[in-house]
């Protein structure tokens, strides 16, 4: 019996990564929809700048949704693709009817805190599996999002 997949990774460790990546994928989908909703529903004095910022954020999130799903496929897993599965697996909750900029930004910051923590866990898990592709992806996301968190927090202060 072959214990490695077609890119030379341990099958068991890869399947464990698939589970973690699907939870991350689900969380990204909810964070994406939250940002999209903030973009649509924002009101107030900072409408113009926040409307644009939320669009920038949801576009970045959507890119990552695709990259994570493709990484899952690369390590021979199946990405979740039903919204009901995302709601069940996500560690981020839906945000509904938020039109206040400060509330929306705080919601996004909490979501990024969750994503960064998950990505750090997956980074460690990928290192243990010698999965450099997944590790590099997580490392890139963490670096980008740490800077974004800093900037969003600076905006709020």
How far the first Cα of the chain sits from its last, in Å, is 58
Which token pair is 59? 């576009």
Question: DSSP code of 6?
Answer: T
110, pLDDT greater than 90: yes
Please, which pLDDT band fits residue 127 given cuts at 50, 70 and 90? very high
67 - beta bridge partners? none
Place of tokens 């599996």: 129
- Superfamily of structural domain 11-156: Ferritin, core subunit, four-helix bundle (1.20.1260.10)
Please, which pLDDT band fits residue 2 given cuts at 50, 70 and 90? confident
7-35 pLDDT tens trace = 999 999 999 999 999 999 999 999 999 99
In percent, the amount of the chain with pLDDT more than 90 equals 99
Mean pLDDT of 53-58: 98
CA–CA separation, 71 and 143 (whole Å): 19
């Amino acid at each position: 019996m072959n214990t490695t997949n077609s890119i030379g990774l341990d099958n068991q460790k890869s399947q464990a990564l698939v589970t973690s990546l699907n939870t991350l994928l689900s969380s990204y989908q909810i964070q994406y929809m939250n940002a999209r909703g903030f973009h649509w529903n924002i009101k107030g004095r900072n409408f113009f700048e926040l409307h644009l910022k939320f669009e920038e954020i949801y576009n970045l999130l959507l890119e990552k949704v695709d990259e994570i799903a493709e990484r899952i496929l690369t390590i021979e897993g199946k990405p979740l693709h039903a919204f009901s599965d995302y709601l069940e697996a996500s560690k981020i909750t839906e945000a509904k009817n938020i039109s206040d900029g400060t509330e929306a930004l705080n919601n996004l910051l909490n979501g990024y805190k969750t994503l960064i923590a998950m990505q750090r866990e997956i980074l460690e898990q990928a290192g243990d599996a010698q999965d450099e592709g997944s590790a590099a992806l997580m490392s890139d996301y963490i670096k980008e999002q740490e800077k974004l968190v800093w900037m969003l927090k600076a905006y709020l202060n």
